[in-house]
Copies of this chain bind each other. A is one copy, B any other.
Amino acid sequence: MQPLGETVTVGIQGANGSYSEMAVFEFFATGQGQQFKAIPSVINFDHSEQVCEALSNRQIDLAFFPIENSIIGNIDLNVDLLNQYPFTILGEHYLKIEHCLLALPSTNLKDIKTVYSHPAALEQCRDYLVKSNFQVVPSFDTAGSAKIIKPGEAIIASHRTAEIYNLHVVATNIQKVRNNFTRFFLFSHLEHNFLITNENKTSLAFTIGDGPGSLLRCLEKFAQYEINLTKLESRPIPDNPFMYTFFVDLEDSVKSEKMQECLKDLALEAQTIKILGSYPAGQK
């Protein structure tokens, strides 16, 4: 493995104190990112597209995106972006999500009328919000909402957000399921050639032909080569209404001989194949 050097710039969507920022630090300090022996310097962007543009223009070394949540499913926008750009996944990380209700120190629970947060966080806490009869306002960011909070308002974000912005933790663990994880991907530009070791998982995107049974024949290739499929998702192809790109996660490295043979075989059936990356599996 080639160490990246002292500091690497890592682009995220969202403000400091966001779950993405927490995940970056956890990944490099205690997760699979330890192999990089690097100190991440987080660069914040308002939108995921801006992170991708910055990586594309080499203004940042790496990017870190939430890709899937165990309650609400895929973060579709980020899945689509990964598929559109010439990027490659280098790592995977699972972050435990514990949503808190945060307010200004002067605000008590009974004073709270309005709650701001990212739609994904609002959805994960929907039962709590409905029961409490709060007015709910979507925003682009969990932690970013901390900057605009007023008396009588609250936001949903992490403990870390409370510390950074001096907010009062009114309630903790308010998501509807205690076991709430978000899965993140670390990725670089394809041409960056970071060397990683211990890849044992591969993510692919493929499209299929028109005829019936084409998807099944593609999936049978993985079974034939005894490559375990841990995930299957579909996303629409916008120019082709109700046609889909399929995303699969496979338990093997793209460098293994059987994966190489499987991909050659898959290419005979699939219309297009894109290798999104091969990386060491994150710990759940």
Q: Verify A238–B177 contact, CB threshold 8 A.
A: yes
Knowing A138-B138, A228-B212, A233-B234, the reply to whether A284 touches B242 (Cβ < 8 A) is yes
Q: Verify B236–A72 contact, CB threshold 8 A.
A: yes
A1 CB within 8 Å of chain B: no
| A219 CB → nearest B CB, Å | 5
A232 CB within 8 Å of chain B: yes
Determine the distance from Cα of A234 to Cα of B68 in the docked complex, in whole angstroms. Answer: 12
A interface residues, how many (CB within 8 angstroms)? 46
Within 8 A of B (CB), among A34-78: 49, 68-73, 76-77
Knowing A76-B73, A232-B232, the reply to whether A239 touches B179 (Cβ < 8 A) is yes
Chain B residues whose C-beta falls within 8 Å of the C-beta of A235 in the assembled complex: 73
Give the contacting residue for A49; candidates B119, B130, B140; CB below 8 A. B130
Chain B residues whose C-beta falls within 8 Å of the C-beta of A26 in the assembled complex: none
Give the contacting residue for A239; candidates B72, B177, B220, B241; CB below 8 A. B177
Determine the distance from Cα of A236 to Cα of B179 in the docked complex, in whole angstroms. Answer: 13
A112 CB within 8 Å of chain B: no
Give the contacting residue for A213; candidates B77, B223, B231; CB below 8 A. B223
Q: Verify B234–A232 contact, CB threshold 8 A.
A: yes
A181 CB within 8 Å of chain B: yes
Give the contacting residue for A123; candidates B77, B177, B212; CB below 8 A. B77
Closest residue of chain B to A213 (Cβ to Cβ) is B223
A268 CB within 8 Å of chain B: no
Chain B residues whose C-beta falls within 8 Å of the C-beta of A241 in the assembled complex: 70, 179-181, 284
| A138 CB → nearest B CB, Å | 4
- Report 23 cross-chain contacts, Cβ distance below 8 Å, ordered by A residue: A49-B130, A70-B236, A70-B241, A71-B238, A73-B76, A73-B234, A119-B138, A176-B238, A177-B238, A177-B239, A179-B241, A180-B241, A181-B241, A181-B242, A212-B229, A213-B223, A215-B232, A216-B219, A216-B220, A216-B229, A230-B242, A232-B232, A232-B234
